[in-house]
């Protein structure tokens, strides 16, 4: 099979360097050019037409797509976009409205993480194979995942935390007290709107010795990692493989629960089917009753449940609602919750 010609549109030298390395060792694709601007991309396309364009999401705007439109008129070029957007459907929709593409898709890539390139490239090759119906040989350098270490082992125990009004300050305090070798993953739902997700994640990252991540769809849930539900999305867990107690994140925009998205209940209700009784549920300060059904489900599955006390809660609504169900093991000031949760996890 002749190599598939690809044009890369990317302006960061460090990212281009990584892609050049991947393409140089690949048996299936050949990188025939790299462009760092719309003008350079147009000049290259006037000289040769690739079978596929690989492009960072920052370039996808109406003017850029209008520039590309004449080159896509034959419907033979594919366009793959990469980036860190959680909700990428509008990007794909915009492309499909402006261009006659053979196929288009969005793949997640965090350029700051070395392992992200390996995962991206495997997905990229599998995507090409399925959409273009061609055989693909995976490069030896990425055909096997790296050996598992203490920092990327799938979690078999989880701590699920729900909070609302007054939550960010308490979350910072709690995460700062978890030990770096915590034998569990931490899943967080803070009632927050989408524009503030990254700011909250950055704040939590500064205080915690655990690896802080904004959850994304199909992201493996690893021991010693913290996963924050992004604003506007429900976060759930599902098994990585059927009948296992190792999970991965699931994001969706299903209907609101308790008039909220993300919802604490949505997360907690999904956990027992993956982790069984190896769950510690925790409800912190906040208004309303979100988390009541989830905490009861955790308790029914044999997990343990903790809530923040009234004295240290900014608003006692959510903790009080759970207490009234009788599903709570302990009511504690937030300063004592991390040690209690960690002790419970150690006994599971």
Active-site residue, 191 included: yes
Asked if 305 and 322 count as a contact pair (C-beta separation under 8 A), the reply is: yes
Q: What's the CA gap between 245 and 181, in Å, rounded?
A: 20
- 6: nearest Cα among 43, 53, 48, 40: 53
> CA-based angle 157:162:164, to the nearest 5?
165
* pTM attached to this predicted model: 0.65
pLDDT tens by residue, 270-296: 999 999 999 999 999 999 999 999 999
Active-site residue, 93 included: no
Q: What's the CA gap between 105 and 78, in Å, rounded?
A: 9
pLDDT tens by residue, 2-15: 788 999 999 888 88
Q: Annotated catalytic residue: which of 51, 78, 163, 164? A: 164
Active-site residue, 208 included: no
What is the per-residue DSSP string for 119-158?
A: HHHHHHHHHHHHHHT---PPPHHHHSPPPP-TTSPBPS-E
Asked if domains 4-143 and 158-347 share a fold, the reply is yes
Distant-in-sequence contacts of 144-147, Cβ < 8 A, 24+ apart: 145/118, 146/115, 146/118
Q: Annotated catalytic residue: which of 78, 88, 290, 313? A: 290
Q: Annotated catalytic residue: which of 191, 225, 270, 313? A: 191
pLDDT tens by residue, 217-244: 889 999 999 999 999 999 999 998 877 8
Element (H, E) at 7: strand 4-9
Asked if 183 and 157 count as a contact pair (C-beta separation under 8 A), the reply is: yes
CATH no. of 158-347: 3.40.50.180
CATH no. of 4-143: 3.40.50.2300
Q: Distances from the Cα of 298 to the Cαs of 148, 154, 181, 233, 247, in angstroms?
A: 29, 20, 24, 22, 16
pLDDT tens by residue, 173-200: 999 999 999 999 999 999 998 888 889 9
- Domain boundaries along the sequence of the chain: 4-143, 158-347
């Amino acid at each position: 099979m002749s190599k598939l010609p690809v044009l890369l549109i990317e302006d960061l030298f460090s990212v281009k360097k990584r892609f050049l390395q991947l393409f140089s060792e690949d048996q299936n694709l050949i990188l025939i050019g790299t462009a760092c601007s719309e003008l350079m991309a147009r000049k290259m396309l006037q000289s040769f037409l690739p079978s596929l364009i690989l492009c960072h999401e920052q370039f996808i705007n109406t003017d850029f797509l209008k520039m590309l439109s004449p080159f896509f008129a034959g419907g033979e070029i594919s366009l793959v976009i990469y980036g860190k957007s959680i909700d990428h459907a509008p990007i794909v929709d915009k492309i499909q409205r402006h261009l006659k593409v053979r196929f288009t898709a969005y793949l997640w890539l965090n350029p700051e993480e070395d392992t992200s390139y390996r995962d991206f490239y495997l997905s990229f090759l599998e995507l090409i194979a399925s959409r273009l119906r061609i055989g693909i040989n995976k490069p030896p350098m990425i055909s096997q995942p790296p050996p598992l270490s203490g920092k990327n082992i799938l979690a078999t125990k989880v701590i699920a935390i729900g909070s609302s009004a007054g939550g960010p300050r308490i979350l910072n305090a709690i995460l700062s007290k978890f030990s770096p070798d915590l034998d569990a993953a931490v899943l967080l739902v803070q009632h927050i709107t989408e524009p503030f997700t990254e700011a909250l994640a950055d704040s939590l990252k500064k205080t915690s010795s655990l690896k802080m991540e904004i959850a994304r769809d199909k992201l493996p849930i690893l021991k010693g990692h913290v996963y924050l539900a992004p604003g506007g999305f429900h976060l759930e867990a599902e098994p990585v493989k059927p009948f296992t107690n190792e999970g991965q994140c699931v994001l969706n925009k299903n209907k609101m629960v308790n008039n909220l998205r993300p919802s604490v209940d949505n997360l907690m209700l999904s956990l027992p089917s993956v982790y069984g009784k190896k769950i510690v549920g925790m409800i912190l300060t906040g208004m309303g009753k979100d988390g009541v059904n989830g905490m009861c489900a955790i308790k029914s599955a044999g997990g343990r449940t903790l809530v923040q006390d009234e004295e240290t809660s900014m608003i006692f609504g959510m903790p009080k609602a759970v207490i009234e169900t009788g599903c709570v093991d302990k009511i504690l000031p937030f300063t004592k919750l991390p040690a209690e949760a960690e002790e419970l996890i150690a006994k599971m």
